[in-house]
Structure 1
Amino acid sequence: MDQKPTLEEIRKAPKVLLHDHLDGGLRPETIVDLARESGYDRLPSTDPDNLRQWFHEAADSGSLERYLETFAHTVGVMQTREALYRVALECAEDLAADGVVYAEVRFAPEQHTSAGLGLDEVVQAVLDGFKDGSARYGIRVGTLLTAMRHQARSMEIAELAVRYRDVGVVGFDIAGAEAGYPPTRHLDAFEYLQRENAHFTIHAGEAFGLPSIWQAIQWCGADRLGHGVRIIDDIQVSPDGTAKLGRLAAYVRDKRIPLEMCPTSNLQTGAAPSIAEHPIGLLRRLYFRVTVNTDNRLMSNTSLSEEFAKLVDAFGYGWDDLQWFTVNAMKSAFIPFDERLALINGVIKPGFARLKWRAGLP
């Protein structure tokens, strides 16, 4: 077994993040500033420390619906070009400071138009922030455009994603409450994306069960699954530890469909009972294409390094496991193959090799 990596050591590792929401990762200080500048007067507190605590406690409810309500405040202050640019720039800075070398950050353009911005203006503001942040802080950030599953604008957002795919948008996503809003409601958007050779992921198997995963893959053709924790319901584990996979779970593993797992967030929304009981442990043991992610860094009061550290404590993971998760994520990114390979061989593997060498490991 590898020597147990510490949180500070993990922060130095070159990490890859595939599932992170822009409106779920704001700095509390920035929220207060933007609220004051825009006249937004509905914050539960204007003290950054109290506000941080409020977000964490409000999101820690065991309900996806209650968790999603916290976004009213972050979205509420992200309605101008200046605000969107600042949030994107600071996102790149914060991720780079945590050792992330490649990230795909998602947001829903339709939620940022209440002050008069058009969809193209919203997307351009975020792309400009990420572009400047990437250059300044030495991180590469790709953008996913998200459509809200309870709305009817998914085709419009899909077309927007295709229009901007050569200048920073790497894919498409749908998000929001799963129950009552199956991904098949947006089938026309997914068929359009497939015709355009575009990449997309779908939030599925978090608050809802196996049917949402089945629909996302077999009806909609998802390249990746956002969360996907309920795939565990299609796996039977016997007392001796052997596992029998159902047809859907076997298909997901056989096809190497990436699972964008977010351990802390899954606890908050009730999708998993504890880190130690999170399905990620079994899925890693069974060699599913598992990746580790943050989901919403503000609401979950977390970082990618902290997510890894929690898994180290819960499952005894060592450097080889953390590298395995990281390479999985880089393999699953929505950028061209040669660029993924260059990051794996030129940045990720050498970075982990240095950390293992410092720890006196082969």
Structure 2
Amino acid sequence: MTSQSTSKTAATNTARTPTPDQIRRAPKVLLHDHLDGGLRPGTVVDLARATGYANLPETDPDRLGVWFREAADSGSLERYLETFSHTVGVMQTRDALVRVAAECAEDLAEDGVVYAEVRYAPEQHLERGLPLEEVVEAVNEGFREGERRARDHGHRIRVGALLTAMRHAARSLEIAELANRYRDLGVVGFDIAGAEAGYPPTRHLDAFEYLKRENNHFTIHAGEAFGLPSIWQALQWCGADRLGHGVRIIDDIQVHEDGTVKLGRLASYVRDKRIPLELCPSSNLQTGAADSYAEHPIGLLRRLHFRATVNTDNRLMSHTGMSREFEHLVDAFGYALDDMQWFSVNAMKSAFIPFDERLAMINDVIKPGYAELKSEWLFQQTASTSGSSGDEG
């Protein structure tokens, strides 16, 4: 290979590697994000003051943000769960829910997210007398307000709500009926969350059977901590459309020393049926699913063409966003813009909105957005290479 062709190859490879700014501007799709896990620290402080919530560990926003991150990284389940007691604690009024939802949409749009499904458990916001319906309506109002503010700042985003029932509680059918009632008013689906061990999804079969009769969509937190039985139950007993996390599907995949890979029956089923995996790399590291980004199963799952998607889970607790998640993956796996587009299209295909609307987002927003970024960087790298050649001459 000549030095000139080597230079051209290097330029092309460099052009395909996204910079942090390019990652931020790339159109991204988010399917797994918890509303109570993404508050701004300053908002937590403001709402605590406005609502009389007196249990915050810090009242300075910067110090509070650090406290959230350190508590989530502590390895203590007790401290990790405490973080949510504070965010949920300040989200007990209508005004608070509107504000948090609006800021969520704004923050995601600023980070380049063009479509998001954000989940929350209405039953956790009733301490000050709000009825379930008013909780849902307040959050929906906030999302619409956030979308409007984002447009005013030149950003495009659409946010759908997922109503979550708690695995340890007994209100899943009630929440499923609520999700169905508001399905054309901003709610796009249903979810169950909470500790997997001891609280299998089969405890909520009546809710899932109801949703299937109503032709509604649902995802299930499964395969995050409990492993393959949780995934099997979510799919075969409950009929989940997607797997919330699903990272433990890696336990059914064998990688041999010679590099060959053998999929077990469950892993083959998940891949063959194109069941979406809502993978959350930073969160998965905090919960022990992987020791580092380079060892996260997403690398192998992407190579094997599972329907893998990239998500944030809890942006405040994990000190992350969609851009930061992709930055970690670019560093760990050398991903290019083509890989980012692959993940984003996967996520959009898996969204809980009608097919024609998903297709329009892919063809009118996502693909053109990535094509523009690729062309821009190829031009910049070509110009940079030409300029360097001229200087050397």
After TM superposition, is the score higher than 0.5? yes
**Does 82-91 or 52-61 show the bigger shift?**
52-61
Matches within 5 A, 1:81-230: 81-137=94-150, 138-230=156-248
Is this contact kept in 2: 1:61–1:269, CA < 8 A? no
Partner SS for 2:196: coil
Structure 2: distance between partners of 1:345 and 1:56: 37
2:29 maps to which residue? 16
Deviations 1:161-190 (A, max 9, x none): 000001010000000111111111111100
Shift of 1:70: 1.4
SS of structure 2 residue aligned to 1:252: helix
Instruction: Give deviations 1:326-349, integer Å, cap 9, x for gaps.
Output: 000000000000000000000000
- Which amino acid in structure 1 is aligned with residue 124 of structure 2? Q
1:135 CA drift (Å): 2.5
Q: Secondary structure at the match of 1:244?
A: strand
Describe the SS at the equivalent of 2:338.
helix
Which of 268, 274, 279 aligns to 2:286? It is 268
**Identity, % of aligned pairs?**
79
| 1:252 alignment partner, one of 270, 281, 286 | 270
Q: Is it true that 1:353 corresponds to 2:371 in the alignment?
A: yes
Tell me the SS of whatever aligns to 1:225: strand
Residues 237-295 of structure 1, C-alpha deviation per residue, up to 9 Å, x if partnerless?
01121110000000000000000000000001112211110000000000000000000
2:356 to 316, 319, 338: 338
Matched, 1:289 2:289: no
Separation (CA, whole Å) in 2 of partners of 1:69 and 1:26: 15
CA distance in 1, matches of 2:115, 2:82: 29
Residues 75 and 90 of structure 1, relative CA distance in 2, 3 Å threshold:
same
Q: Matched residue of 1:276: which SS? A: helix
Question: Which of structures 1 and 2 has the bigger CA Rg?
Answer: 2
Q: Partners in 1 of 2:78 and 2:260 — Cα distance?
A: 35
Supply the RMSD in Å over aligned alpha carbons.
1.2
| Alpha-carbon displacement from aligned partner over 1:198-247 (angstroms, at most 9, x marks no partner) | 00000000111100000000000000000011000000001121110000
Mapped partners of 1:6, 1:261: distance in 2: 22
Q: Is the 8 A contact 1:64 1:207 kept in 2?
A: no
Number of corresponding residues: 362
Following TM superposition, by how much is the alpha carbon of 1:7 offset from its aligned partner in structure 2, in angstroms?
1.3
- Return the alpha-carbon distance in structure 2 between the equivalents of residues 21 and 207 of structure 1: 17
Q: Please give the alpha-carbon distance, in whole angstroms, between the structure 1 residues aligned to 2:29 and 2:266.
A: 27
3-state SS in 1 of match to 2:295: coil
- Aligned equivalents of 2:54, 2:354: Cα separation in 1: 44
Structure 1 or 2: more helix by fraction: 2
Matching residue's letter, 1:333: A
By how many angstroms is 1:20 displaced?
A: 0.3
Alignment correspondent of 2:389: none
SS at match of 1:360: helix
Unaligned runs of 5+ in 2: 1-12, 151-155, 383-393
The yes-or-no answer on 1:38 pairing with 2:51 is yes
Aligned to 1:5: 18
1:238 has 2:256 as partner: yes
Whole-angstrom CA distance in 1 between matches of 2:21 and 2:312: 17
1:270–1:64 Cα change, 3 Å: farther
Structure 1 letter corresponding to 2:183: R
CA offsets per residue over residues 36-82 of structure 1, 9 Å max, x none? 01110100000101100110111113466653331000000000000
Q: Gaps spanning 5+ residues in structure 1: where?
A: none
In 2, Cα distance between the equivalents of 1:159 and 1:307? 34
Deviation at 1:3, TM superposition (A): 2.7
Of 57-66 and 322-331, more deviation after overlay is shown by 57-66
Please give the residue correspondences for 1:48-63 in structure 2 after superposition, counting only pairs within 5 Å.
Answer: 48-62=61-75
For 2:78 and 2:349, the matched residues in 1 are separated by: 32
Counterpart CA distance in 1 for 2:207 and 2:347 is: 25
Query: Matches of 1:215 and 1:185 in 2, distance apart?
Result: 11
Q: Which amino acid aligns with 1:232?
A: I
* Equivalent AA in structure 2 for residue 210 of structure 1: L
The code of the aligned residue for 1:144 comes to: L
Q: SS of the counterpart of 1:124?
A: helix
- Residue aligned with 1:115, SS: coil
User: Structure 1 residue runs of 4+, over 2 Å off?
Assistant: 61-69
Letter in 1 for 2:143: F
- Once residues 324 and 159 of structure 1 are traced to their aligned partners in structure 2, the CA distance between those partners, rounded to angstroms, is 34
- C-alpha separation in 2, matches of 1:330 and 1:226: 15
- What SS does the aligned partner of 1:300 have? coil
Give the whole-Å Cα distance in 2 for the aligned partners of 1:298 and 1:316: 26
**1-side partners of 2:239 and 2:94: how far apart?**
34
